[in-house]
Amino acid sequence: MSKIAVIGTGYVGLTTGACFAHLGHHVVCADIDADKVERLRRGEIPILEAGLEELVRAATDADRLSFVVGAASAVGTCEFAVLCLPTPQGPDGSADLSYIEEVAREIAPLLTSEAIVVNKSTVPVGSTRLVERILGRDDVMVVSNPEFLREGSAVHDFLHPDRIVIGSDDHKAAIRVASLFEGIQAPLIVSDPASAEMIKYASNSFLAAKVSFVNAIANVCEAVGADVRDVILGMGYDKRIGFEFLKPGPGWGGSCFPKDMLALIRIAEDAGYDFGVLEAVVQANRDQYDRVAAKVARAAGGSLAGSTIAVWGLTFKARTDDTRHSPALEVIARLLSGGARVQAFDPAVRHDLEGIDVRKDAYAACEGATVLAVLTERDEFRWLDFDKVAAVMARPAIVDARNLLDPTALRRRGFSYEGVGRA
């Protein structure tokens, strides 16, 4: 059992703290937001993560998890200080490390000798060295331990990782950090810090490239009359390709992919390499937003001006309530700029969104609409009463940007239907 301070209680920090406590460690989670700390102390979990509330409750009841305001209040007696801080995208595309630098300065004089600072945030190559310089402590090591947590399955991904990556030049420090994951069966990769930092960017970029690639294949399928679902089936059985991240859609989004792609392009550029392949992946993704908006315009009779469009799904993917850099909002922005009115429903989004008429249920969103666009692959959308949907819409037209629905069943009900990559 180790004493761990986790700095930052977002979906990475809160999940990391709760899971380390679940593994038997003594964890103090710190955040600068006093209101958030109060809510966490009351057992209120501000993010939608399967299994997280139960883990927090059990660990808190067992006195292995507590919450404090400010990093300085958490690190006093810890053996490990795990940084789970935001690294937002700076105006020039580079990752903004100011939160990490600020916390490193704050905790430098407070860390006990032989403590280890663990960098879990997605950070540019070389950041581990930067934190070392800011700490300025010969008796404190800094180790990179990137996270591979997907929103909506963060607890599962933490406790059942495909691999654990540790970047450190000090073998003893690497072994000490590896020991925190005792009880988790997974391959352990120990490398230098730069390689560990690069593994995260390279992994996310490859996944985004897979999605952009399958979206491009879907677009070709439309042009040649092939069905992308059969193509994916034929591709995925090849073990070298697999089926994951091969679902065509409106494009990729979220709080990680867009930020990490631009950061990696910038890291490469600063190092003198033009990462053209990745620039093409990012551009293909922007083009996919345009392409889905154009599908909706065609379904509306050729022009969006003055039309009412219904949208199901606002989050960047199913099983989350996160709308940050959501492809749905990117497509909606294009619909609005084309002069459309947008009525939207997403069960996970109850708050208003600029320029969007957010409705309380899926049918209300369809009232008087010329086209219904499905932009997030929520399972509950599949089982709705489409006779009722047709009755409330001005015209029964559907653009299914996630290939979620059944074209045959809908066409039988008189809908016009267009998916992605299939007739």
Q: Which residues bind ligand UDX (CB under 6 A)?
A: 147-151, 204, 207, 211, 245-247, 249, 252-254, 256-257, 316-317, 327
Q: Any long-range contacts for 51-58 (C-beta under 8 Å, 24+ apart)?
A: 51/155, 51/156, 52/14, 52/15, 52/18, 52/154, 52/155, 55/18, 55/19, 55/21, 55/22, 55/155, 56/14, 56/18, 58/22
Closer residue to ligand UDX, CB minimum distance, 235 or 364: 235
DSSP state of 79: S
Distances from the Cα of 188 to the Cα of 117, 155, 182, 185, 212, angstroms: 19, 19, 11, 9, 30
Q: State in angstroms the smallest separation of the CB of 320 from ligand UDX.
A: 7
Element housing 81 (H / E):
strand 80-83
For the question of residue 366 being annotated catalytic, the response is: no
Instruction: Write the DSSP assignment of 27-73 as a string of letters.
Output: EEEEES-HHHHHHHHTT---S--TTHHHHHHHHHHTT-EEEEESGGG
Q: State in angstroms the smallest separation of the CB of 386 from ligand UDX.
A: 23
CB contact at 8 A, 22 and 159: yes
CB contact at 8 A, 376 and 402: yes
What's the one-letter identity of residue 10? G
Label residue 339 left, alpha or beta by phi (over 0 means left) and psi (-120 to 50 means alpha): left
- Give the SS3 label for residue 382: helix
Distances from the Cα of 73 to the Cα of 61, 81, 107, 258, 391, angstroms: 21, 12, 9, 33, 59
Q: State in angstroms the smallest separation of the CB of 138 from ligand UDX.
A: 32
Q: State in angstroms the smallest separation of the CB of 257 from ligand UDX.
A: 5
Closer residue to ligand UDX, CB minimum distance, 257 or 417: 257
Cα 14 from Cα 27, distance rounded (Å)? 11
Q: State in angstroms the smallest separation of the CB of 261 from ligand UDX.
A: 11
Closer residue to ligand UDX, CB minimum distance, 316 or 386: 316
Closer residue to ligand UDX, CB minimum distance, 25 or 120: 120
Closer residue to ligand UDX, CB minimum distance, 206 or 273: 206
Active-site entry in 19, 78, 256, 366: 256
Cα 264 from Cα 94, distance rounded (Å)? 8
Closer residue to ligand UDX, CB minimum distance, 66 or 122: 122
User: Count of CB atoms within 10 A of residue 254's CB?
Assistant: 22
Closer residue to ligand UDX, CB minimum distance, 340 or 404: 404
What's the one-letter identity of residue 385? D
Beta bridge partners of 357: 343
Closer residue to ligand UDX, CB minimum distance, 258 or 396: 258
Which two structure tokens, joined as six digits, stand for 189?
A: 């990769």
Cα 111 from Cα 381, distance rounded (Å)? 51
Q: State in angstroms the smallest separation of the CB of 254 from ligand UDX.
A: 4
Q: State in angstroms the smallest separation of the CB of 393 from ligand UDX.
A: 26
Q: State in angstroms the smallest separation of the CB of 91 from ligand UDX.
A: 22
Task: Give the residue numbers annotated as catalytic, written as ranges.
Answer: 256
